[in-house]
Amino acid sequence: MTTPHWKSPGGEPLTWRLTDLGDAPLTLDSRWPSPELPPQPLATATGTGAGVRVCVVDSGVVPDHPQVGRLDGSFAVRTGPDGQQVVEPDEIGDTCGHGTACAGIIRSLAPDCELVSLRVLGSGLSGTGEALLAGLRWAVEQRFDVINMSLSTTKRDFVLRLHQLADSAYFAGSLLVASAHNLRVESFPWRFSSVISVGSHDLPDPLHLLYNPVPPVEFFARGVEVPVAWLEGGTRRCTGNSFATPHVAGLCARILGNHPGLTPFQVKSLLHLTSANVRRAP
């Protein structure tokens, strides 16, 4: 997989003017996602997500679950001695099963992706908003290609910082795929336009994607009675946007595996073009 210059660690700074581009090519190929394919390929129908780095920001992931497979890293946000949130290697795994469920769904759609767990919940009831923020910041700094976040916060104190992080991810080429709240509650970061927000449809097809013509929830994916991995090698059937979101994260990994270097804007456009309810006019 070719790493775009703006995604390499310490890569190019953001451009503010055309003259900032330097040697970067200004002319882009309109035959995207690649010259070999027609304009609207079923970029999500096949693919393994090979070479794509995916981070699951959740309750942790059970290592070596048959439906999850190999983890390429397992980390947790903890409160350091000075009260600051720090990210450290994690030995605990999953505290409730939710993160494992999300990881298994991503693996089912992108079997060759690199999967990393970042546990931001499960260390107590307080400070979860701070842990979520610190975890997302870490994931963005690590420049994951796809960040699955089946979580949100209702606390308005975090909105500005979350918004800045979501925009940073967007411009750094990290796709932040975030669950819409299941209740009619305003929460974040799914409300931001720089993320891919996901709700649920009730069809049993993991590849069936719907684009919402009336956002802010932009896409609907399988989120009802989804067979998922759980603790101690077990399985469950779960319902909620939490489980629709990793379907879209997995599809994003497929797209990026097939077409490395696409920007979040392009991946979102491709998701839109390949949605089941978006059709070519007769």
Partner 1 sequence: MNPQDALATALAVTDSDTGHRELLQSVVEAARGVFGARAASIIGLDPGTEELVFEAVSGEGEDFLVGNRFPAARGIAGWVLVSAEPVIVDDLAQNPVFDRDIAESTRYVPDALMAAPLLHGDRVLGVLEVLDRDVRRQSALRDLDWLGLFAAQAAAALATVQRARSARQVLHGEGSAELTEVVALVQAFTALPAERRDAGRRLLQALTEALAARP
CB of 224 to partner 1, least distance (A): 5
Q: In angstroms, give the least distance from the CB of 95 to partner 1.
A: 8
Structure tokens at 134: 């610190």
The least distance separating partner 1 from the CB of residue 90, rounded to whole angstroms, comes to 16
- How far is 12 from 164, CA to CA, in rounded Å? 19
Q: DSSP letter string over 169-205? A: HHHHT-EEEEEPPSSS---BTTTSTTSEEEEEE--S-
CB nearer partner 1, residue 44 or residue 245:
245
* Lookup: tokens for 202: 């009730």
25 CB-near residues (< 8 Å, 6+ apart): none
Q: Residue 152 has which token pair? A: 């949100």
Among 145, 203, 209, 113, CA closest to 8 = 145
- In the set 98, 201, 247, 259, the catalytic residue is 98
Report in angstroms how near the CB of residue 271 gets to partner 1 at its nearest.
21
Q: Which pair of structure tokens corresponds to residue 194?
A: 């720089």
Instruction: State the Cα torsion 208-248-263-281 to the nearest 10°.
Output: 20
Q: Give the other-Cβ count within 10 Å of 72's Cβ.
A: 12
Please give the Cα distance from 145 to 256 (Å, whole number): 8
Give yes or no: 58 in active site. yes
Least distance to partner 1, CB of residue 204, Å: 11
Residue 98 is among the residues annotated as catalytic for this protein: yes
Contact present, 6 and 265 (Cβ < 8 Å) = no
**Which one is catalytic: 242, 247, 259, 275?**
242
Give the residue with the Cβ less far from partner 1, 26 or 185: 185
User: Cα 245–220–212 angle (5° rounding)?
Assistant: 135
Q: Which is nearer to partner 1, 209 or 253 (CB)?
A: 209
193 is a catalytic site residue: no
**Which positions lie near partner 1, rule CB under 8 A?**
59, 95-98, 121-122, 124-125, 128, 151-156, 179, 181-185, 187, 200, 202, 223-225, 230-242
215/234 with CB nearer partner 1: 234
CB of 48 to partner 1, least distance (A): 28
Two structure tokens written together for 173? 């080429």
Determine contact, residues 154/246, Cβ cutoff 8 Å: no
74 versus 152: smaller Cβ distance to partner 1: 152
Q: Which is nearer to partner 1, 11 or 234 (CB)?
A: 234
Q: Which residues are catalytic?
A: 58, 98, 242
